[in-house]
Structure 1
Amino acid sequence: MIKIDVRRKTFGEEEILRDIRFEMEVGETIAILGASGIGKSTLLRLIAGIDPAFKGEITRPNKIAMVFQEPVLLPWRSVLENLTLVHPELGTEAALSALERIGIVDKAQFFPGQLSLGQRRRLALARAFAGRPDLLVMDEPYVSLDPTTAEEMLALTEALIAETGPAVILVTHSDVEAHRLARRCLRLAGRPATITGDLAAGPASVSWEGAS
């Protein structure tokens, strides 16, 4: 069980988050929606343990991976090395297999700067899943992609989630992405932000006005 209880998060004198509480099981996917600047990315950093400065308590597994809005890759290392240096337990053969799974094995010796945005996002996704995390935190991983590439990334994410079974928390502006991947959708609103809606996700779900 993953338990989130963020009673208060501030930056200086400004209170950003208040009374954010929810629970989830390993294997469950939750989408978090809300307006730009509402505090979604801040909440993800608290959940991932990147920012420990808040009042409250978060119970989470030890094996956590995060996919950021912009692919955080080692620009001076090859595509293959971006996997093997972070996950040395993989070995070269397993790393190449992971790259083949995401469709960029032919770019194994390229550097991140030689890849398209979509290819860099695929690599960031592969690196996150390679460690088989119990909790995967994703911060708008499909932003700025063209519709075709975004659809390919969504399909790839669906497949990788099905194969590895982590709990997933996805921040997105897109109802389509939320309903495609998530079992539940949480909406943040207000200042400080709090949860103002908790709905089951899926094609028939009600969309919140202004959520995307």
Structure 2
Amino acid sequence: MIRVRIDDKHFGEAQVLGRVHFDIAPGECVALVGPSGIGKSTVLRILAGTDEAFSGHVDRPDRMAVVFQEPTLLPWRSVLQNLTLVHPDLGTAGARAALDRVGLSGKETLFPGQLSLGQQRRLALARGFATPPDLLIMDEPFASLDPETAERMLALTESLMATTRPATLFVTHDRAEAERLADRILRLDGTPATLGDLT
């Protein structure tokens, strides 16, 4: 069970989160929705362990994968190397299989800059799922895509999640995406005095 217990989060003097408490069961997908600037990505960073300056605690597994809105790829490495450097145990054959699952077979020697945004997002998904994670964190992974590409990405993500069943926190501003992928939807909102209250 993944447990998030955020009691307070400040950036300097500004409070950005109040009480945010929730759990994610193994295999469950939880969508976190809310208006822009309310603190959704801050919750994500705290869960991922990249922001530890908060009051509270988080229980998370060691084996995690994070898929960001902007694909965090190594531009000077090939598509294949972007997988094998992060997952050295995969080997070339395993990396090729992971690329095939996301429709990037034949793109192994290209560099990220030679891929479309949709292909870069697929590569980021391949990297996230190459070694099945216990916890998957996705931050607006379908934003800025045209409707046809977004639909293909949603279908691909559904398929990968159904196969691996990680516990998932999915941050989105799109209610339809949340309803399609998530088992449960949490809304983050608040007032100026208690920003981001959620229980």
Aligned to 1:159: 159
Report deviation, 1:76.
0.2
Instruction: Answer yes or no: is the 8 Å Cα contact 2:47–2:58 preserved in 1.
Output: yes
Aligned to 2:138: 138
Please list every run of at least 4 consecutive aligned residues from structure 1 whose deviation after the TM superposition is greater than 3 angstroms. Answer: none
Aligned to 1:73: 73
1:194 aligns with 2:186: no
SS, match of residue 89 in structure 1: helix
Aligned to 1:174: 174
Report deviation, 1:131.
2.0
- State the TM-score, normalized to the length of structure 2: 0.97
SS, match of residue 148 in structure 2: helix
Say how many residue pairs are matched: 196
The gaps in structure 1 that reach 5 residues or longer are 197-212
Report deviation, 1:106.
1.3
Aligned to 2:109: 109
Report deviation, 1:103.
0.5
User: 1:172 & 1:70 partners in 2: Cα distance?
Assistant: 14
Question: Which of 1 and 2 has higher RCO (CA within 8 Å, sep 6+)?
Answer: 2
Aligned to 1:199: none
User: 1:131 & 1:66 partners in 2: Cα distance?
Assistant: 12
SS, match of residue 36 in structure 1: coil
Counterpart amino acid of residue 150 in structure 2: A
Q: How does 1:109-128 map to 2 (within 5 A)?
A: 109-128=109-128
SS, match of residue 76 in structure 1: coil
Report deviation, 1:24.
1.6
Cα RMSD, aligned residues only = 0.9
- State the TM-score, normalized to the length of structure 1: 0.91
Report deviation, 1:186.
0.4
